[in-house]
Structures are given as structure tokens and as C-alpha cells.
């Protein structure tokens, strides 16, 4: 199945079929630093890439400063796994750098995903440089020594004893840094200018990959939330928001992706440089698509607080956060006149869920029938505390909610 009919002119230059990308077209022909030609040779399913830096007269520059040649696989699948990797790198990776590729995170699971990914494209983990960023007040808060920190990372990332791990101490301002609770933030870096050029060229094609593959989109947002996401929890323990940090340009791009492909709307909090994902409908989509599961700690926080959120929504006199309405709305069952929540009343055979949704959504958007007309039908009553309830239905109101009348 050809995919060229859905690509624009910028995308057609890529040889893509059945979500496989030919990496021969990813690498630029000219090195941007010296304008030297980049040579690419294909041998079966691998590509050997090298470049000799020359001056404007064509003479080879200092041989000791020439970029090291690389070997990469020729094809790569545009799938969920690649989406997770590029989402992680888009959030926590070093981009637009011609010297190295690196990713930093406090989760051993995510760092293992990164290291294994590099190994799959012919980067030996032994060639990586490892460093840990720690707060200087680590000794003050925890009874822990450097050797324990190094052992933690060696064990979880399978780093050989002979491989050096540097520790970078940083000053922490205000409350103790989260570095303390996670044995610091690990940075795994690979120094190679040609590989950096290749990998950043791959990152620049993210928008193309999003158009091509649904599974890639899911993986990309999953990796992004794992890297830059933050799970906000209310004092009562229920889920409040998912926040994703980034620059203004990055936030704009992420917001457009979430809306275009997932119909998840966001709010841009410019004061904290984060976009916020709230509203129970959006949070349900995140849960159903498993967009929260890549980072183990964030997954645990999300699922625990998400359960509390749903439990609170199912309590009596629930304020029905699904409506995202400033005025709290309760629904009282017609026959028994017992206070029931939204999910319970729509199960009743006496009412139409579609009509209840239509009424409440209309009320939310301020349509005329939702207040004055509804009062006459007995649909709405305002309590002393300012809460609106569906109560004491007239026959006309019952017909409306049961869907017997098309117009009210």
C-alpha cells in the first residue's frame, strides 16, 4: 500500500512504504559545518556513512579532527516503539547539536529504553559517556554515599565496573531537589558528529511520522509525557491535571498534536511554561490510550489519583466534573427522587442518555431552553447553596428526557 497520496512535497522525498523508512534519505548530502560532502554506501541492510572535512580549496583539514564514520541500519519502522523513543528525546534529549546525542532522566527504565535503542542502531553502550547530576544537600537529607549512587546506576543500567560514571554536583535552591529521591538524574551521551547529524535529522521528521502512523502518534505522546509530563494531584488525592513543560514553540506544537490527532484540548500556562490537560474527558482519553504508562512513577501517581477522581464522581450529589461547568449540577432520579449521579441516572430505562447529555451540555453553553424553558418543565431547581438540580419533572419534562418529544 503506497502512502504517497497523503504526503506533501516535503514528505515525498522519503522512500516510505508500509511504515518503513529508508534512512538513506534522512542523512543530508552536505555537512552543515564545513559544507563537505557526506559519503553514503549501502551494503545489504546497512549504511556506512563517512565525511572528510575540506577547506574551500578542496584540501583535507586536520586528520585528527575528522568525524568518525558510522554504520546505521538502512530501514527503521515507524511504529509505537519509535514514537516512544522520539517522544522521550523530544522532551529530554539534546537537539540541534552537531557534536553528540544525549538523553537525561531519573528513571532507570527510561534510560534503559534509550540505551537499548542506541544499541539497535549500532551504537555500542560501551562507547557512551555516563554522568549523574546530584544535589549538594544529598548528604544532609539522606544517609547515602556516592558509592551507593554509582552502584544503583551500574546495577540498573548494566554499566561495567571499568566504565567511568561522573558525578556532577549542583546547588539546590528552595526545597530539596527531586534528584535526592531518585539517585540523581542519569545522562547517557554518545559523542559523534555524524551520528548527531543523522539523529537530529530523524527528529526533524517527527511531523511526517505523525501523519503516517497512528501507533507512532500514541507512542510519541506517551514518551513525551514520560519525559516532560507532571501529574498534578489535589489535596484530597484525586487527579487534577497533566502538565507538559517546554518552550513556547514546543508547547504550541504539542498542543496542536494533541488536538489534531486525539481531540485533547489544552490550556497554555505561560507563567510556568507548561500546557495543562484537565477535564475528565481528556483524562479518560489519556487513560484509555495508556499515554501515561511509560514512566513507572508517573504511571503509579496517575492511576492512583485517577481512581480517586472516578470514585469522587460517583458519590451522591456529584458535581459532575464531566460537564466542566462552574455551576455544580446534580441529577435526582425521577421516580424515587433519590440523589443519584450522572452515570446512574443514564442507566435508567425511564430516561434517554442522549437527551440528558443534550440538556446538560446545552445548559453548559447557555442555550435558552436550558434555564427558562427548563424551569417551566420542572427540569431545573436552584438550591440554597446555588446548586442546580433536575427535580420534580412535569409530564412534559419526562417526555423530554425520555426522548419522546423531538422539540421542547
Contact between 27 and 197 under an 8 Å Cβ cutoff? The reply is yes
Q: What is the CATH number of domain 214-313?
A: 3.10.28.10
Per-residue pLDDT, 341: 55
- Over the stretch 138-184, which tens digit does the pLDDT of each residue have? 656 666 778 888 899 999 999 988 899 998 887 765 555 554 566 88
Rounded to the nearest 5 degrees, what angle is found at the Cα of 347, between the Cα atoms of 342 and 353? 70
Beta strands 229-233 and 185-191 are unpaired
**To the nearest whole number, what is the mean pLDDT of the chain?**
77
Choose between 397 and 207: higher pLDDT: 207
Per-residue pLDDT, 12: 40
Rounded-to-integer distance, Cα 206 and Cα 140, Å = 43
Cα-Cα-Cα-Cα dihedral sign, residues 18, 12, 98, 187: negative
Q: How many helices (H) and strands (E) does the chain have?
A: 14, 18
Per-residue pLDDT, 263: 92
- Over the stretch 256-308, which tens digit does the pLDDT of each residue have? 999 999 999 998 888 888 999 988 888 989 999 999 999 999 999 999 999 99
Over range 7-28, report the average pLDDT: 60
Long-range contacts of 59-68 (CB under 8 A, 24+ apart): 61/34, 67/31, 67/192, 67/193, 67/194, 68/192, 68/193, 68/194
Instruction: Using a cut of 0.75, tell me whether the model's pTM lies above it.
Output: no
- Over the stretch 60-95, which tens digit does the pLDDT of each residue have? 666 667 778 889 999 989 999 999 999 999 999 987
- Over the stretch 346-386, which tens digit does the pLDDT of each residue have? 666 666 666 666 665 555 554 444 444 555 555 555 555 55
Residue 389: closest CA among 380, 399, 378: 380
Exposure string of 363-375, with b = 16+ CB inside 10 Å and e = fewer, is bbeeeebbeebbe
Contact between 115 and 189 under an 8 Å Cβ cutoff? The reply is no
Over range 42-66, report the average pLDDT: 76
Residue 306: all three cell numbers together: 485517577
Ordered by start, the domain boundaries in the chain are 23-206, 214-313, 321-402
Residue 198, Cβ density class (10 Å: 0-12 exposed, 13-18 middle, ≥19 buried): buried
Rounded-to-integer distance, Cα 94 and Cα 88, Å = 11
| pLDDT > 70? residue 398 | no
Amino acid at each position: 500500500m503506497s502512502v504517497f497520496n497523503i504526503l506533501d512535497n516535503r514528505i515525498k522525498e522519503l522512500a516510505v512504504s508500509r511504515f518503513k523508512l529508508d534512512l538513506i534519505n534522512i542523512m543530508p548530502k552536505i555537512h552543515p559545518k564545513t559544507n563537505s560532502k557526506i559519503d553514503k554506501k549501502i551494503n545489504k541492510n546497512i549504511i556506512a556513512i563517512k565525511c572528510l572535512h575540506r577547506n574551500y580549496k578542496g584540501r583535507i583539514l586536520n586528520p585528527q579532527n575528522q568525524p568518525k564514520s558510522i554504520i546505521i541500519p538502512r530501514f527503521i519502522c515507524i511504529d509505537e516503539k519509535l514514537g516512544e523513543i522520539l517522544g522521550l528525546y523530544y522532551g529530554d534529549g539534546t537537539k540541534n547539536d552537531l557534536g553528540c546525542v544525549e538523553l537525561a532522566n531519573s528513571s532507570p527504565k527510561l534510560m534503559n529504553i534509550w540505551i537499548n535503542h542506541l544499541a539497535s542502531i549500532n551504537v555500542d553502550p560501551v562507547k557512551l559517556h555516563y554522568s549523574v547530576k546530584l544535589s549538594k544537600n544529598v548528604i544532609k537529607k539522606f544517609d547515602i554515599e556516592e558509592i551507593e549512587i554509582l552502584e544503583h546506576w551500574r546495577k540498573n543500567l548494566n554499566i561495567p565496573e571499568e566504565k567511568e560514571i561522573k558525578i556532577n554536583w549542583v546547588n539546590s535552591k528552595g526545597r530539596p531537589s527531586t534528584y535526592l529521591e531518585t539517585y540523581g538524574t542519569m545522562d547517557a551521551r554518545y559523542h559523534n558528529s555524524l551520528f548527531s547529524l543523522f539523529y537530529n535529522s530523524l527528529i526533524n521528521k517527527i511531523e511526517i511520522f505523525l501523519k503516517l502512523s497512528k501507533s507512532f502518534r500514541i507512542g510519541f505522546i506517551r514518551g513525551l509525557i514520560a519525559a516532560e509530563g507532571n501529574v498534578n494531584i489535589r489535596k484530597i488525592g484525586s487527579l487534577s491535571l497533566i502538565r507538559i513543560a517546554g518552550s513556547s514553540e514546543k508547547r504550541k506544537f504539542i498542543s496542536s498534536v494533541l488536538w489534531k490527532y486525539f481531540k485533547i484540548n489544552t490550556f497554555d500556562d505561560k507563567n510556568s511554561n507548561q500546557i495543562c490537560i484537565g477535564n475528565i474527558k481528556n483524562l479518560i482519553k489519556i487513560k484509555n490510550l495508556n499515554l501515561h504508562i511509560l514512566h513507572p512513577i508517573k504511571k503509579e501517581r496517575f492511576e492512583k489519583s485517577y481512581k480517586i477522581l472516578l470514585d469522587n464522581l460517583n458519590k451522591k450529589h456529584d458535581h459532575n466534573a464531566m460537564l466542566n461547568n462552574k455551576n455544580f449540577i446534580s441529577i435526582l432520579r425521577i421516580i424515587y427522587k433519590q440523589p443519584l449521579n450522572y452515570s446512574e441516572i443514564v442507566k435508567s430505562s425511564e430516561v434517554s442518555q442522549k437527551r440528558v447529555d443534550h440538556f446538560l451540555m446545552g445548559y453548559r453553553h447557555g442555550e435558552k431552553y436550558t434555564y427558562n424553558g427548563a424551569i417551566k418543565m420542572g427540569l431545573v431547581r436552584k438550591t440554597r447553596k446555588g446548586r442546580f438540580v433536575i427535580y420534580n419533572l412535569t409530564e412534559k419534562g419526562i417526555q423530554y428526557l425520555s426522548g419522546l418529544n423531538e422539540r421542547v
